[in-house]
């Protein structure tokens, strides 16, 4: 698979849109997160509250250890939509410009083409996860008075990796099925920003926990909004159940992608 990734890299290394979106994530996410942390901690310092109340708020502050891992992962998820859009572009460009056909004519099997794209998916997940870890570590070290429990919540970075994988698998599925770049991106953002949230509301308004098992909500719930008051949290589903659901969705998406691409007419 490493050789297939090298070929993929040769395809995209001179693609300007790739660098704009990829560097957009690598640059703007750390800047935005550090700026948010700086302003938040500054507001605490000058809030004028009593010392005991300030200390209590500091313990719950999302930008100090160990809660910084949750904040870093959550905000990383907001910026990761750039990578999802980029991945759709890379998939649909192959179809629209018929380069996927040329790869197969040149000796690749259909599975080789899919493996090459899966290797690119893994690259995006690994790089973004490493970035989340480094940014969380930097911000935590910068604003935490104590480093005793600094790695207690680092599992949220792992949850982010699972979330990133599921989001890119959805992008992969849409790109393969729809094939057109503009329409694929519209469908992707509609599902991510509207459909999944509406389904979650429908299934949770009456106290049901079924909404947390929606395709994207399963991973979103693993990395909840760190600024949301705990009293507003309705989820009682255990993390392990959501992890199982997320892995199941990833497996289903992979199965559909592989079976569809094996049978599809590459001329269309």
Using the 8-state DSSP alphabet, how is residue 265 labeled?
-
Place of tokens 């040329």: 102
What is the per-residue pLDDT across 237-246, written as a single tens digit (0 to 9) for each?
999 999 999 9
Instruction: Report yes or no on whether pTM surpasses 0.85.
Output: yes
The structure tokens 């969380």 sit at 136
What are the CA-CA distances from residue 16 to residues 11, 99, 132 (Å)?
11, 18, 24
pLDDT digits 0-9 by tens, 8-49:
998 899 999 999 999 999 999 999 999 999 988 877 665 555
Low-confidence ranges of the chain (pLDDT < 50): 52-53, 55-56, 58-59
Phi and psi at residue 144, in whole multiples of 5°?
A: -95, 135
Q: How far apart are CA 115 and CA 135, in angstroms?
A: 30
């Amino acid at each position: 698979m490493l050789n297939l990734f090298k070929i993929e890299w040769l395809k995209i290394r001179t693609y300007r849109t790739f660098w704009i979106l990829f560097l957009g994530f690598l640059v703007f996410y750390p800047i935005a997160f550090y700026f948010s942390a700086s302003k938040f901690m500054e507001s605490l310092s000058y809030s004028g509250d009593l010392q005991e109340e300030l200390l209590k708020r500091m313990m719950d502050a999302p930008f100090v250890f160990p809660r910084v891992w949750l904040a870093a992962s959550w905000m990383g998820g907001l910026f990761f939509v750039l990578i999802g859009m980029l991945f759709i572009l890379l998939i649909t460009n192959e179809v629209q410009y018929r380069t996927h056909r040329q790869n197969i004519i040149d000796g690749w099997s259909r599975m080789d083409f899919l493996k090459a794209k899966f290797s690119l998916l893994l690259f995006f997940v690994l790089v973004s996860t490493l970035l989340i870890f480094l940014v969380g570590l930097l911000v935590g070290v910068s604003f935490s008075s104590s480093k005793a429990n600094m790695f207690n919540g680092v599992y949220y970075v792992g949850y982010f990796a699972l979330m990133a994988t599921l989001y890119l698998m959805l992008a992969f599925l849409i790109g393969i099925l729809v094939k057109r770049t503009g329409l694929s991106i519209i469908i992707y953002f509609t599902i991510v920003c509207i459909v999944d949230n509406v389904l979650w509301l429908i299934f949770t308004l009456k106290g049901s926990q079924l909404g947390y098992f929606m395709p994207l909500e399963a991973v979103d719930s693993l990395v909840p909004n760190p600024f949301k008051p705990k009293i507003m949290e309705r989820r009682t589903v255990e993390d392990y159940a959501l992890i199982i659901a997320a892995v199941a969705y990833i497996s289903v998406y992979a199965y559909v992608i592989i079976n569809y691409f094996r049978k599809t007419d590459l001329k269309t």
